[in-house]
Structure 1
């Protein structure tokens, strides 16, 4: 009788853990779509509410460590990532990463907004136009965070939504049209902030129309996670950042 044969499993290149909001419908689809062969995508959810308020963000912060602990217990992850930009900026990136590291000490902890900042710097952008969906208190936090990281906001436009459902159900064509409308000449890049927006579908078209790189939250997040793992596969159809890995 032949002895059992073992290999490294399907996820032999990297294991990525993502913490998404309990009522989120976009991020999970996007990360599975973007993951190259041999890269595992593992999902946990953190308790949240449809309305975006200071109280609901506090709820996320208090449960983030527990949610991270549910990602492949006993099996080391390469990266663990919190996928809510607004929540991260409101609670602080250091707070979010510390909570994830407590549960996943062997993994590199990152966040979607941290990934977006690194992606914008990678392409050499300093002057940016920004499209976001947030209510007023998160808009102020977003502007302050981007400016603190050295970006000149040539334009900042918010859809001023109050609920996650509004963000998730915004049609990609509307995102495209509004992005074209708010983009300011002289910007080095367009940044579409928030992983719940279905922006993957329009990145390529926007780059062709605006003739600048477009950074969108989930695209930047996957780029960052793969970069941390030393994976440099080109992934076509989602902008220059992933398509060439060299902007």
Structure 2
């Protein structure tokens, strides 16, 4: 059946080295919607993405990017980098979402804000957390969640420094192992943070192994988008999170 392409236009701001957000969102895309990407700079591709670099990305001027993505007249704009606002805190994240809404005229959802909204939708207050970030960003991520009433009972990282391309080169098997390392008897959900990590493909396998819901950055943005726009659930949406729709 021919798609109408009239249900929603989805604009996405994506860091310019990210290679996995686009295919993930195409996999998750609701029928009759279209997705339009605008790449963001604001960081040095040759630096290890530490706290300062990610905070710099979050604070960079995105006015040009918003003008470009506004050209498609989007219904929603996703800010597709989790750590860029995790490193600043919840107030900054909310203010950035408001800036995007004001300048684009569209509903705005950030990756970090969506992660929190998805965890709260599941009713989880204790989580296992994993990411490809350096330790300092993980500490800031745990604080971000704590300020939202979510306790991290175990944190797992990859155990080595990954460059901007290294995060995206982790395989779904790598992500599965990382998620299992983040499990804890008290964890009510497993959180996989990073829009460039291939977490979406591992969700069903992780949930089958651990018996707990999994929340990933890209899945959480799509959950919040589908819920906010009141779009129907479809078969390509993985994980227990979407049972809440």
TM-score normalised by length of structure 2: 0.88
| Distance in 1 (alpha carbons) for counterparts of 2:78 and 2:93 | 11
Partner of 1:5: none
- Matches for 1:199-218 after TM superposition, within 5 Å: 199-218=199-218
User: How big is each residue's C-alpha offset from its partner over 1:48-95, in whole Å with a ceiling of 9 and x where there is no partner?
Assistant: 33332424642553232221211141x432111111000012242034
Partner of 2:120: 121
| Distance in 2 (alpha carbons) for counterparts of 1:227 and 1:68 | 23
Superposed displacement of residue 22, structure 1: 0.8
Partner of 1:49: 44
| Distance in 1 (alpha carbons) for counterparts of 2:19 and 2:101 | 25
CA RMSD, 1 decimal: 1.9
The answer as to whether partners of 1:168 and 1:196 remain within 8 angstroms in 2 is yes
Unmatched 5+ stretches in structure 2: none
| Distance in 1 (alpha carbons) for counterparts of 2:192 and 2:182 | 11
The counterpart of 2:61, out of the listed 56, 63, 82, is: 63
Partner of 2:111: 112
Partner of 2:183: 183
| Distance in 2 (alpha carbons) for counterparts of 1:212 and 1:178 | 15
Partner of 1:76: 73
Q: Of the two, which has the highest radius of gyration?
A: 1
The answer as to whether partners of 2:126 and 2:187 remain within 8 angstroms in 1 is yes
Superposed displacement of residue 127, structure 1: 0.9
| Secondary structure of the structure 1 residue equivalent to 2:74 | coil
The answer as to whether partners of 2:27 and 2:236 remain within 8 angstroms in 1 is no
| Distance in 1 (alpha carbons) for counterparts of 2:6 and 2:35 | 12
Superposed displacement of residue 141, structure 1: 1.4
Partner of 1:197: 197
Change in 2 beyond 3 A, CA 1:186/1:165 = same
Change in 2 beyond 3 A, CA 1:196/1:155 = same
Partner of 1:22: 16
- Give the structure, 1 or 2, with the largest relative contact order (CA under 8 Å, sep 6 or more): 2
Superposed displacement of residue 187, structure 1: 1.2
